[in-house]
């Protein structure tokens, strides 16, 4: 029997679980989350899952460009890259400190408001640039292209 562990490989709780399994020579499979299984097809990573669902369940032309429209597909990939590289890092930092660590005061600790404000400023600056980019051509874009430009994970 192979133990299936569903979690992130960087989580401390996951590492604890895997350490015990290794010490006891238990065979295990680490399944990264988020994770889906669809009719025997397995996939992890939220962006890949979103694209898979859009392609398989009727999102072509609504949520994702048809592959035959090379320009729109390229714009979608460009927007996805911008979201991943420009918005994800400060967004995650802001969420960790501003949301998850907002419970610190309940334990007598202080939240790092400097980090929260700094990441908020980075996000606002990036959104201003994104908005300017969109405002130049919104009238010429299809709903799919606008969604692609705004899509976040």
Asked if 90 and 79 touch (Cβ cutoff 8 Å), the reply is no
Same domain? For 92 and 50 the reply is no
The residue segments making up the domain with residue 105 are: 70-150
Q: How far apart are CA 29 and CA 8, in angstroms?
A: 12
Whether 150 shows a pLDDT value over 70: the answer reads no
What pTM value is reported for the model?
0.64
User: Do 47 and 85 have their domain in common?
Assistant: no
Alpha helix ranges (H) inside 66-112: 70-82, 88-98
How does pLDDT run across 48-86, given as a tens digit for each residue?
Answer: 888 899 889 888 877 788 888 888 888 888 888 888 888
Size (the chain), residues: 153
78 with 42, same domain? no
Q: Which residues contact 45 (CB under 8 A, 6 or more apart)?
A: 32, 34
Sign of the four-CA dihedral 37, 38, 43, 44? negative
In a domain, 146, yes or no: yes
The answer to whether residue 61 is domain-embedded is: no
Task: Give domain status of residue 76, yes or no.
Answer: yes
Total structural domains within the chain: 2
The Cα diameter of the chain in Å comes to: 62
d(CA 61, CA 66) in angstroms, rounded, equals 6
Residue-level pLDDT at 118: 92
């Amino acid at each position: 029997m192979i133990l299936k562990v569903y979690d992130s490989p960087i989580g401390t709780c996951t590492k604890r679980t895997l350490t015990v399994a290794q010490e006891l020579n238990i065979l295990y499979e680490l399944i990264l989350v988020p994770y889906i299984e669809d009719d025997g097809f397995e996939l992890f990573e939220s962006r890949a899952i979103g694209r898979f669902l859009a392609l398989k369940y009727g999102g072509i032309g609504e949520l994702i460009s048809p592959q035959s429209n090379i320009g729109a597909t390229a714009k979608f990939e460009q927007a996805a890259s911008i979201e991943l590289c420009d918005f994800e890092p400060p967004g995650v930092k802001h969420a960790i400190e501003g949301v998850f660590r907002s419970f610190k005061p309940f334990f007598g600790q202080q939240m790092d408001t400097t980090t929260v404000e700094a990441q908020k400023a980075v996000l606002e600056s990036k959104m201003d640039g994104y908005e300017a980019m969109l405002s130049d051509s919104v009238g010429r874009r299809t709903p799919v292209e606008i969604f692609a430009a705004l899509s976040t994970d």
